[in-house]
Structure 1
């Protein structure tokens, strides 16, 4: 098997998507988002992908069917679970959002992250 080489930042513009969370998920602000998918592959159980995500300030509901590794490159966000447990993440922080997580993601300072996730 040949190793897949993930493209660098240059020339990856074809995989860029600009969007906002669905209106019923937005709690406050206008969290306009930008997503560049550098790698995506279908597996027998779901989709494995990775890339870069950016967001403007705002708070919205999230749910993760599979785990996601995140590394915050810029900005600040507060991730809160349904029980009210909150974690502030900033540039330099690395963490994993577990499969099945539900709660809110609040971008307090425009945020940029690298992610790798498995979606069921």
Structure 2
């Protein structure tokens, strides 16, 4: 494998995938989302890209371990026990597989993510 196999996010031009969470998961707003999937491993367990979300709140259930770096905007993650974490540009964190709660975008949010889907 050579240097040409390195994925440079700034050099990649790709079609964005636009979507909304499933209707039964949306709690408020119209949280349109866009994903730029820059890399998927051949085994399908590892991926990386850029995600953007508009204002709104929806239920989440992570089946993957995800590293996030917020590069724009403000969001609030809430768990099922009432805990909350506000994340904004400059914040870096990992959401472990099994996290359940909500994601709320307060200001248009953009994140770089790296995700690993653990197989049983």
- Whether the aligned pair in 2 keeps the contact of 1:12 and 1:38 (CA below 8 Å) is no
Q: How is 1:48-59 mapped onto 2 (pairs within 5 angstroms)?
A: 48-59=46-57
With structure 2 as the length reference, what TM-score do the two structures score? 0.90
**Separation in 2, partners of 1:85, 1:42:** 36
Q: Does 1:63 align with 2:64?
A: no
How many residues are matched? 117
Displacement of 1:11: 3.9
Is the CA contact 2:9–2:49 (under 8 Å) kept in the aligned structure 1?
Answer: no
Paired with 2:96 and 2:9, the residues of 1 have a C-alpha distance of: 27
The correspondence for 1:105, drawn from 90, 103, 106, is: 103
- CA displacement, residues 2-41 of structure 1 (integer Å, 9 cap, x when unaligned): 5741133344213x20001000000000000000001101
Residue 10 of structure 2 aligns with which residue?
9
- Superposition deviation, residue 66 in structure 1: 1.7
**Could you say which residue in structure 2 is the equivalent of 1:84?**
82
Paired residues for 1:31-46 under 5 Å: 31-43=31-43
Gaps of 5+ in 1: none
**Runs of 4+ deviating beyond 3 Å:** 1-4
